[in-house]
Amino acid sequence: MIRSRNLSHLRWAGALGMLAMLSSSAFVARIAAADDEKPWVAPDAAKQVKNPVPVNPESLAAGAQLYHENCAPCHGDTGKGDGDTGKIIKKKPANFTDEKLMSAETDGSLFWKMGEGRGPMPSWKDELSDKERWQLVIYIRKLTKDAASAPASKDK
């Protein structure tokens, strides 16, 4: 009799422990979600880093290929953030044709964000080499320029 009561106490303690765990992980998830809403800012040191890869037809072509293989599904073929996968995820992928957004970003900042990732944006530093990520910075800059110079009729 006494023993079974003790056991039932233990079970309650276990259930309460579970409850505490569940509610604390829900709490953590809420904090993480709130964090995602904040502007994404690279550390100052990362912002200052200059692109060591020269802009030329080779680096542009390499960047274009990497972009279409890895990034276009979310960021879209022309960089508007309207890729098929980009449309179904909760957080909207960055729009590289947004001149205002892009002019606020240094090359070093773009490079750092590609390396780190945030939320649905993957971290690429283990997938792509430094050189490849700099080539992507070069190509993304071209997407911004292309969008600015494209006639409105081409803007589908």
Binding residue (CB under 6 A) for ligand HEC from 47, 60, 73, 125: 73
Q: Does the protein bind ligand HEC through residue 91 (CB under 6 A)?
A: yes
For residue 104, how many other CB atoms are within 10 A of its CB?
A: 11
Tell the burial category of 149 from Cβ atoms under 10 Å away from its Cβ (0-12, 13-18, 19+). exposed
Angle at 123 between CA 117 and CA 129, to 5 degrees: 130
Q: Which residues of 16-31 are buried (b: 16+ CB within 10 A; e: fewer)?
A: eeeeeeeeeeeeeeee
Q: Which is nearer to ligand HEC, 12 or 140 (CB)?
A: 140
Q: Which is nearer to ligand HEC, 14 or 127 (CB)?
A: 127
Q: Does the protein bind ligand HEC through residue 42 (CB under 6 A)?
A: no
Q: Does the protein bind ligand HEC through residue 145 (CB under 6 A)?
A: no
Q: Does the protein bind ligand HEC through residue 136 (CB under 6 A)?
A: yes
Q: Does the protein bind ligand HEC through residue 94 (CB under 6 A)?
A: yes
Site size for ligand HEC, by CB under 6 A?
Answer: 25
- Rounded to 5 degrees, φ, ψ at 136 are -65, -40
Contacts with ligand HEC by CB under 6 A lie at 36, 40, 70-71, 73-75, 85-86, 89, 91, 93-94, 101, 105, 110, 113-114, 118-122, 124, 136
